[in-house]
Amino acid sequence: MKTIDLDTVDIHLDPPDFEPQRQYYFMAKCREYVRAESSRLGRPLTCGVFTFGCQMNARDSEKLEGILRTAGYEAADSEDADFVIFNTCTVRDNANQRVYGRLGELKGRKRRNPSMKIALCGCMMQESSVIEKIRTSYPFVDLIFGTHNIYKFAELLYHSLETEGMLIDIWKDTDRIVENLPVERKYPFKSGINIMFGCNNFCSYCIVPYVRGRERSREPEDIIREIKELTADGVVEVMLLGQNVNSYGKNLNHSMTFAELLQEVEKIEGLRRIRFMTSHPKDLSDELIQVMKNSQKICRHLHLPLQSGSTRILQRMNRRYTKEQYVDLAMKIRSQIPDIAITTDIIVGFPGETPEDLEETIDVVRTVQFDNAFTFIYSKRTGTPAAAMEDQVPEAQVKKNFDRLLKVVQDTAREQAAKYEGTIGEALIEEVNQEDDGAQSCQSLVTGRLSNNMIVHVPGDASMIGKIVRVSLDECRGFYYMGTIRP
């Protein structure tokens, strides 16, 4: 973890006006509060950070935890902690419903531990209807903030600890990027890195541009410096994160393409693997394909959301490519980089989708042979253009289409996976796998990730975690492999 020396901060002065020093000041104030509370209770104070949603949120949660740990909280992986924060997602309604369910459960815990504090942040909090609902139905929540002022968490935390009642601070948008805040990484050997924030695409179903704001790229020097610090700290794999990484760098003073950024990242000594997410097909350049092809470090995996295979639906989705353009792009990538895995996202039940449109999507799945596809039932998001479209598809039809697509997707993914059976690959060992393995249940297994993002289980122990090893992919079991280590 990046450590910050709070002992040099004078908390008896007024807070500084500039960042990140202002936040260091409030971290020091929080630390004083935590120390006092701990000695009053005769035990350490604990915190629990719980994440809903995407990799961006997972990275934000590492920042929240970094600040809480710097302030003196001990991590407790339980909702019984003294400070509990839910970092929420709102991309589909079921993510929202899960947050409400878990929040209901917290009420009883707070009754048993009156000094407990409950905070909510993230994408869902950028919606005013959500704030209203929490105000009226969950009044025991102490702190609410959104996606734009997360860098101010230390300051908000301090004010919340010092006051009673609900503190709400939501910003509509920001162009600020504050560097050098503490981060507590979940894995010592791999890390996400934000390269840009927000999204300008306005796909008609998607709430992200409304909750994450306009696109802003981080300066390449800041990204490179952060990755160098991470590799010095033992990280071997990074995942460059953005809603649309292919448009990285457009708003910088010295504009830079994503492919150019990747080439700079490639040069970092000690770094072994580079991943990135997510790519919009309309912005994926030939330059990027060439850079990926020639790279020793960029993983053989591309996540390229299709959303629909019907040009008519794609147009209504405001995706700005046709079925043919998507297929041509995917096939070009496959021909240039034959061992690449292409994965995708598909939405079923977008307004106006007919059985014929679904057949078009299935046709793309069969042609491109996706290595994996995440299929989602369309969820109506208030405020998006698609929510106002009149021809919403009846639920029964959506369910039928979803099941039909899922079967095709699973069959193709299984076929793709089987292709590599009997070959040798490199896997980054990520964790110990305790699950029973049929007859050989006594054997201890570890789980590794191949360059193409597939999972392989091999015999081994915890000492291998974080190492990149050669493995033979002995047996394909649907979506993962059983393998053995090779010298």
Q: Which residues in this chain contact ligand 5AD in the complex, by CB under 6 A?
A: 91-92, 205-206, 305, 307, 345, 347, 376, 378-379, 381
> CB of 386: closest distance to ligand 5AD in angstroms?
7
User: For ligand 5AD, which is the closer residue by CB, 252 or 387?
Assistant: 387
Applying the rule CB under 6 A, the residues between 74 and 113 that interact with ligand SF4 are 89-91
Minimum gap (Å) between residue 330 Cβ and ligand SF4 = 23
When the beta carbons of 92 and 275 are compared against ligand 5AD, the nearer one is 92
Rounded Cα distance between 331 and 262, Å, is 22
Q: Residue 307 binds which entry of ligand SF4, ligand 5AD, none, with Cβ cut-offs from 5 to 8 Å by kind? A: ligand 5AD
The item of ligand 5AD, ligand SF4, none sharing an interface with residue 376, based on CB under 5 to 8 Å by kind, is ligand 5AD
User: Per-residue x/- marks for ligand SF4, 170-209, CB under 6 A?
Assistant: --------------------------------------x-
Q: In what order do the strands lie in the sheet with 83-88?
A: 74-75, 46-51, 83-88, 117-122, 143-145, 167-169
User: Closest residue (Cβ) to ligand SF4?
Assistant: 53
* Residue with Cβ nearer ligand SF4 (220 or 242): 242
Query: CB 110 → ligand 5AD: shortest distance, Å?
Result: 32
460 interface partner picked from ligand SF4, ligand 5AD, none, CB below 5 to 8 A per type: none
Residue facing ligand 5AD at closest CB distance: 345
Calpha distance 421→451 (Å, rounded): 15
Q: Which residue has the tokens 């910050």?
A: 4
Binds 381, which of ligand 5AD, ligand SF4, none (CB < 5 to 8 A, cut-off by type)?
ligand 5AD
Residue 56 CB, nearest approach to ligand SF4 (Å): 5
Tell which positions 45-64 bind ligand SF4, by CB under 6 A: 53-54, 56-57
Binding at 90: pick from ligand SF4, ligand 5AD, none (beta carbon under 5-8 Å per type): ligand SF4
Least distance to ligand SF4 from the beta carbon of 60, Å? 8
Of 125 and 456, CB closest to ligand SF4: 125
174 binds, among ligand SF4, ligand 5AD, none (CB under 5 to 8 A by kind): none
| 24 or 205: CB nearest ligand 5AD | 205
Taking the least distance from each CB to ligand 5AD, the nearer of 223 and 347 is 347
Site string for ligand SF4, 106-125 (x = CB under 6 A): -----------------x--
CB-nearer residue toward ligand 5AD: 345 or 426? 345
**Identity of the residue, 57 or 384, whose beta carbon is nearer to ligand SF4 in the bound complex:** 57
Name the binder of 53 from ligand 5AD, ligand SF4, none, CB < 5-8 A by kind: ligand SF4
How do strand 445-450 and strand 455-459 relate by DSSP bridges?
antiparallel
Judged by the rule CB under 6 A, the positions of this chain that interact with ligand SF4 are 53-54, 56-57, 89-91, 123, 208, 211-212
